[in-house]
Structure 1
């Protein structure tokens, strides 16, 4: 800034003095004066002016001075950035050790000094995820400026995300959301891409930083997978989800695929992902159950003499493999396309095999095996001769009707014994054996083991002394 000595209201020296007192980073001043009195020059030097020039000043002289000052200011800014990077690196190193569970008095004391911790203060962690490549030196000032006047510690985690731990006292809690929204707005405008700012719960003690950081990571990863951008608070977006109900939506989806209903498939997929969006469900957990459904659908296609491999290859060409998916947006698109294509293919295959009544019989047995089934009843239901149906059934499945039915029931019993706490007698009833002794006999003939032994071997506790009853 170029100023004169004598000006109305405020002299040049007073302007410089007040700027130095009030501004964190006052400008560099050049004084132009018509007075060669040494006292003026001495007063200016005390205020650390960049230059004191006597009038008149020619254009060449002032031009050279401005070029020199421009270089000096540039060098100072570069030095500040370099120092800020060094400090960020040092603090980040300490913070990353702390959030990985490492503790040490010296390290904790250093972080306390950085945070200027007062007693057992409450802390909160903010974590910033930016999709586009960014320069930490560009982002850091926005974070610190958002909490200007508050004690905080800026760091960069091992994944390159910027974090900020701040004391969540009364002065911060009232404006933390406002500051986070403002930071998000500026980052989004400047970096032109999705930005997620996650805010943890408040907790006390330095060692809670690890938990606070983990909360923000959970929020960031969840919102990133859902393709979201914005400011998100841990308390508001992490709610428990009933995984059994979510699995029920997958089961309904599989049934809808079998029916070949495109509108129903789309609605079921959206309902499933609405459940996923409502609570913390790990992406890999969901992918595992999508893979199970793929396996089931491919089995149905194969049973109808279709080509499941062709379906999967077409899916891979269009959207890649399930293992390559890294977020929920891509997973939803993958799942919806697969189910629609599979539903259409199953409908075609069923149409081509409608004349084959035995397929319908086998499907009926597969669906109703838990009930009381007899070959004579099936023959009446499908308007066939019982003897002919028995021959056709064996030719199609490779097993006589009763053997096929028992095998189906035993396979379901094995699944229940592995995965549920049901008693042996309850398992027998659920798979179609009202007589527990008869069930135990059939199970042992098929597997060579008693149900209780099989249950124990599968990793479940036995039902006790009366487990076989």
Structure 2
């Protein structure tokens, strides 16, 4: 798409031009509107339009003044079309002096403007592919333009000539992702260029590599790759190509292979397919290669992991059960691959678990920023490009977080356990249990049980039962309450259960105890 800036002091003229035709069908898009030349100067520098359609008469700075300024002082120099309500030869002469592409009278005729835009598209095509450093074309810029913009047959032939490759030939666009865990590391482009030239035995000396950022590089590869590499088939050829790149770059490499196209002008289709294949990056097995042909029709999973699995992981981390959370993390990452999680779904799952862990830390008055690996996990999408890398750093973070939570709970537990015991001593006649008390004091129930036993030498339930039985004994001695009334008074919901537990502890039934105290035995 070529970007167009409209400059006219009449808003209705600008809106009329926008609605006059289907701009996108002619490979143009309106990128902005300005109401005078002064405003347009700033917008040209900011938006970098390919074409400016400007009224000749405007307040502050007119169309000719704008063109003069851009031609003489501007760092970006688009093409210009002048529209005017005045058929003035003097204006036309001045416009021609500034190499204005066309001069159109108002009201603008759709057919006339369409013809002008069609003619300018050819000029813009040529401008894009004839950027030179001295006499040498910038192949990378040219291939980028080829892949991202539709071109006329004439423009594609020019590109093929400049790159010294055949236009009418099958190609695949291949995205090479170097997985080096570096955001701002060194460029691999020089090494890649050398490796590709050597591997192809200079049969395709002009194969251009375009840089996509984050250690991603794109390459248009001819269908004859298998015969050049002397492989049995195309899949084997790409496996060998990947092995060669990993050895030469001394880093892990993944390949995303676009669909085959039969002409250079169709290369955008292969490029788009390769880029879309990136969404399947967490489904790659050991091969490290995704063919766009193989994933067609395979739906990606865009949801989170099961709530039960998420909750289990947080509990295991809080309880610092190493083997358990390692198993759960492994299960989560298996789901990423087997359910074909989209990158966004993986990101949501990781973020959700981070939030859960941070909440656990804050409940213990901890500070998550004390975790060394937190920042690493927050920015993981810029560095960790495959499932193995991500699982490794995620597991390290989980281990660090679990140890930190255990340490904080130990610090907090020393003071908290006394408060909890006092609470039990005061409320033992109520319907309380370990889980409800743990929730009240923002603690994990398993940990609370362990801490209570470690501090007081007996289990929580044993201590609670002893308190209730002691109070029951007092009531049996001092009152004539019935057994079910005594049971209810000391916190038992069931009288039969009260009798069983009393006998278990005292080696006699409540009735026997009362009779004994009354001297009836």
Q: With structure 2 as the length reference, what TM-score do the two structures score?
A: 0.42
